[in-house]
Structure 1
């Protein structure tokens, strides 16, 4: 009698009589099932701890950058906006652009650095810079000084998404990446829930400088936890590469390093970059101009800003998680990886279009409802879009591709923010029309000659030729 035992946690036995070929096949199948079960058990739940750390970092990241918009009613008085509102709108736009331009420059640099030094070191360097830059706002008293502080903040914050997406590729298999991305990306929405409660209260009671001191201090606290966490040691044992090598019963191969020149020639890089060019400006619009919109259109004061923004960003949090979950759900139902991504993105793209009605509604809560849907659609769309670099390229190139896309997105955001500063008072309808249809245009770009994922053989050949 041949007795094949499965791992202890399954607690089943299959007994196969000797000499029976059919039962011998069953025995082989049982061995295969045992190996598969072992492979699944080898994937540690530590990946969700990593996802939680990425969520907290992204939350702090967006609290840092959103602080400016939340204290804007006070800064308007500091910078003379009461006397020259049109001039002040352009100056405020210039301050925002300083951040976006630095963010784009930083993405080109940090993406490549993170691919070389890894997520652990890259994240630590990034959050150190942006935490100190956030604290530096307390010394600013002029447009130039605020612009300089925002520029430094943008350089530091640029490392967040390349590092987070590289960490996601390190720890999560393809079918879980959109969900993991959606979970940590929901930190952008969580920040928009916490920040409207915390930052205006701090600014009103302790001065606007306290808002920036608070967010910068949170960055330093997260940094301490990240440095203590043994990321690299655990990744080598429980990361995606380690689990896959256990299944194949051979040591993991090092990921090939692809040159910037090679990546710039790939259609997948530019599909991702164009998508960022079209959709990043819309999120900047919601992040930096919504408090101003509520204040000017519906006369919501600074302390009353919390509830409208919280409701809007609850919607975006739900969209981020559901959008990531939807792609994984479709994959489990037999759809291919690319088809699942595009179907999820298509649903989100159509949900984003009703925001074009914002300028013509007269009720605050009608506007909030439309913005809930729009921000949820954006986050769901982004959860899938941000997963595409790890779908198309090896993990050693994810940070670089994300950096290239983010830099192109920053160019689009700079152009759009400049336009918003010019037309905001008279032609706000155009701003929301552009925001509503950006996702459908992006989706059409993905459907036109969709990129093909790189095979391991192609990546190794490209690395050798470089």
Structure 2
């Protein structure tokens, strides 16, 4: 949750700061681009680090770094300066999903992972719900100014670091886990941690399925995070104090989609469907939810636009809940962090391309229509590509795994 709060404070403030400090569309697009560049590179590194030191310590170190970068925003007023503050924020936040996925793999058997991922996706979206309400409350209602928004939310993150270190443990190290619960968690055979031959993972088609999926869908979500406040500001002339209701509605729908996408595949698995059929059926249903966003700029009212965008956000979260389960489904546990890392890099590269595209479109065309058309098509295309690369969603053969391991 706090990851999204810290990430979204600047986008929520963007319309006001852009007007106050004369930011250009291309300058803001570059800010998004460099954030994703560092995020993607750090994602790879963080995945491998978490494979080695575990989610508990790795996540705490990363969050300390991102909290520093978040508070550093108060020192700048230009997009160039803000880029320098976003770099440590991006580097630290890159550990969010590798650590969370590693924790899910530690705590849940395969049949429950997509639902667990959907729940933590929904939890992260709580940050997206809170930020459009919290930032105007601090800046407008309390009259504390935009810098206070960074300071107060940064303090919340610092408190969380302490709580994480106190409470998180692996199942076998947790005093409240019973033997029957441990047996359920560890029902699948486990292997000891092993080093990964970096170049070898790219010879496996399952790696490419995950990378290409992330390359196609992550840019859409990044666009929502960075530009939705600006869209509502320009399309419906909303001020900072008016962003709350539409953005909260959008991310509430996203929360529902996150849980629904995970629930569908988990339900189908429980009925005896194969992992391949269950995951891809759920992904297809959620991909269809994104299609109507192509008409969001033509909406007759703000709330119609909210419904179309919220449905697309729900589709993204439900789709991603199943895509993010791929590393845990198809690779041994000791490889999950590395696979997630290269997938994050691929998604960030796609996000950089999308950020540049969005900046050019907004500076020249001045409309979000082309951006939303791309978003509408991304998920069906991603599912098609994933299916062509991995027709059967099944674990990588042991012989191939042995070649990957050093």
How far residue 247 of structure 1 moved from its aligned partner, in angstroms, is 6.2
Q: Which residue of 2 aligns with 1:114?
A: 50
Match of 1:169 among 105, 122, 135: 105
Match of 2:403 in 1: 462
Residues 367-382 of structure 1 aligned to structure 2 (within 5 Å)? 367-382=305-320
**Structure 1 residue aligned with 2:29, among 90, 93, 114?**
93
Secondary structure class of the residue paired with 1:334:
coil
Deviation per CA, 1:15-56: give whole Å up to 9, x if none.
xxxxxxxxxxxxxxxxxxxxxxxxxxxxxxxxxxxxxxxxxx
**What CA distance in whole angstroms lies between the structure 2 residues aligned with 1:193 and 1:246?**
35
Distance 1:447 1:180 in 2: 23
Equivalences, count: 399
Structure 1 residues 385-400: aligned runs within 5 Å: 385-400=323-338
State the alpha-carbon separation in 1 of the partners of residues 222 and 186 from structure 2.
Answer: 43
Q: Secondary structure at the match of 1:186?
A: helix
The residue aligned with 1:75 is 17
1:211 aligns with 2:152: no
Identify the residue that residue 383 of structure 2 maps to in structure 1. Answer: 443
1:334 Cα deviation after fit = 1.2
Q: 1:203 Cα deviation (Å)?
A: 2.0
Checking the alignment, whether the CA contact within 8 Å between 2:118 and 2:261 is kept in structure 1 is: yes
1:56 — aligned with what?
none
| Other-structure match for 1:366 | 304
Q: Is contact 1:256-1:460 (8 Å) kept? A: no
Aligned residue runs from structure 1 range 7-406, under 5 A: 59-81=1-23, 88-204=24-140, 205-229=143-167, 231-232=169-170, 234-235=172-173, 238=177, 243=183, 253-406=191-344
Segments of 5+ residues of structure 1 without an aligned counterpart are: 1-58, 82-87
Separation (CA, whole Å) in 1 of partners of 2:283 and 2:159: 35
Q: 2:282 and 2:39 mapped to 1: Cα distance?
A: 28
Q: Quick one: distance in 2 between partners of 1:240 and 1:118?
A: 24
Contact in 2 for aligned 1:170/1:240 (Cα 8 Å): no
Distance in 2, Cα, partners of 1:76 & 1:424: 14
Cα pair distance change 1:452/1:294, threshold 3 Å: closer
For 1:460 and 1:296, locate their aligned partners in 2 and report how far apart those are by CA, in whole Å: 51
Counterpart Cα distance in 2 of 1:454 and 1:334: 17
Shift of 1:145: 1.4
1:241 Cα offset (Å): 11
Q: Give the Cα–Cα distance (whole angstroms) in 2 for the partners of residues 246 and 434 of structure 1.
A: 42
Deviations 1:180-217 (A, max 9, x none): 00000112321111111101221222110111112211
Q: Retained in 1: the 8 A contact 2:108–2:185?
A: no
Please say which structure displays the higher CA radius of gyration: 1
CA gap of 1:460–1:356, structure 2 versus 1, over 3 A, is: closer
Q: Post-superposition shift, 1:437?
A: 0.5
Instruction: Point out which structure has higher relative CO (alpha carbons under 8 A, 6+ apart).
Output: 2
Q: Distance in 2 between matches of 1:154 and 1:105?
A: 10
Post-superposition offset of 1:91: 0.8
Contact 2:172 2:182 in 1 (8 A): no
Structure 1 residue 246 displacement after superposition: 7.4
* Aligned CA distance change for structure 1 residues 116 and 233 (closer, same or farther; 3 Å): same
CA distance in 1 between partners of 2:289 and 2:279 (Å): 16
Whether the 8 Å contact between 2:51 and 2:335 is mirrored in structure 1 is yes
Which residue of structure 2 aligns with residue 432 of structure 1? 372
CA distance in 2, matches of 1:156, 1:129: 5
Does structure 1 conserve the Cα–Cα contact (< 8 Å) formed by 2:69 and 2:88?
A: yes
Name stretches of at least 5 consecutive residues in structure 2 with no aligned partner: none
Contact kept in structure 2, 1:389 and 1:401, CA below 8 Å:
yes
1:12 equivalent in structure 2: none
Equivalent-residue separation in structure 2 for 1:262 and 1:151 (angstroms) = 29
Partner of 1:412: 350
Deviates more, 1:187-196 or 1:351-360: 187-196
CA drift of 1:295 comes to: 0.6
In structure 1, the residue corresponding to 2:307 is in which secondary structure?
helix
Q: CA deviation at 1:265?
A: 1.2
CA distance in 2, matches of 1:101, 1:337: 33
C-alpha contact 2:275 2:393 (8 A) present in aligned 1: no
